[in-house]
Amino acid sequence: MDLSQTTDWELIRLSNGNPKYFKHIVERYQNRIFHYLKRMSYYSNEDVEDMVQEVFIKVYRSMNDFESTDKFSSLIYRIAHNHLVDNIRKSNVRPNQNYLEDEEAVNIIRSEINLEMDFASSEAIEKIKIAILQLPENYREVLVLKFLEDKRIEEIVDILRKPQGTVATLLRRGREMLKNELLKAGIKN
């Protein structure tokens, strides 16, 4: 049976009757959830992999409670987000300089906030990584969801459980804060 065209909700329904179908949900979302958790945290790859497994355990245990009126991707990101927040509270992890690892993420942010700069310089890329690390968590999470995870405002509202006006304000202020951090780092727009 080819499940590539099957919707998330159909897979959830199939998984309720036969758990072997749940692996298709995992395959569909594990990389996205891994990258989201990695971008939002300061954990090692191994710790993030463990957290991804824990997120999918929570998803599996909660399948019967889901309402198909919600977008499934928003639900799974919300579970991942809440799990991350719980882990951060428990462990009190402090930042390091390995927050963003791929140039593509930096390029997405650059294009979205209309910064014009020379990205051939690895020094500039490093400054952008550091600038993102300097942002407060609430601004960083909105920017990561919008620009790195390519979520619409409505999805961010669902994931973070914040009003749309609050998300829009955090996004606008986060962009400004990022621009200011980049200016402090000597990167001019």
Instruction: Please report, for the chain, the start and end positions of each structural domain, with discontinuous segments joined by +.
Output: 8-91, 103-184
CB neighbours of 160 closer than 8 A, spacing ≥ 6? 78, 81, 141, 142, 145, 167
Is the pLDDT score of 12 beyond 80?
yes
Q: Six-digit token pair at 117? A: 């700069």
* 40-62 average pLDDT score: 92
Please list, residue by residue across 56-78, b when 16 or more beta carbons sit within 10 angstroms of its beta carbon and e when fewer do: beebeeeeeebeeeebbbbbbbb
- CATH class, range 8-91: mainly alpha
Residues 89-132 pLDDT 10s:
887 644 443 444 455 555 555 554 444 444 445 666 667 667 77
pLDDT per position as a tens digit, 149-186: 888 999 999 999 999 999 999 999 999 998 888 888 77
- Please state, in angstroms and rounded to a whole number, the distance separating the CA atoms of residues 84 and 177: 23
Is this model's pTM higher than 0.75 or not? no
Read off the pLDDT of residues 61-96 as tens digits, 9 standing for 90 and up. 988 888 777 789 999 999 999 999 888 888 764 444
- Count, residues in the chain: 189
- Per-residue model confidence (pLDDT) at position 103: 52
Q: What is the dihedral of CA 114, 144, 27, 9, to 10 degrees?
A: -100
pLDDT of residue 121: 55
Task: Report the distance separating Cα 118 and Cα 59, nearest Å.
Answer: 42
Average pLDDT for the chain: 80
CA distances from 53 to 26, 44, 73 (A): 9, 14, 16
If you classify domain 103-184 with CATH, what class do you get?
mainly alpha
Give residue 116's pLDDT: 40
Calpha distance 124→49 (Å, rounded)? 29
What local confidence, expressed as pLDDT, does residue 129 receive? 65
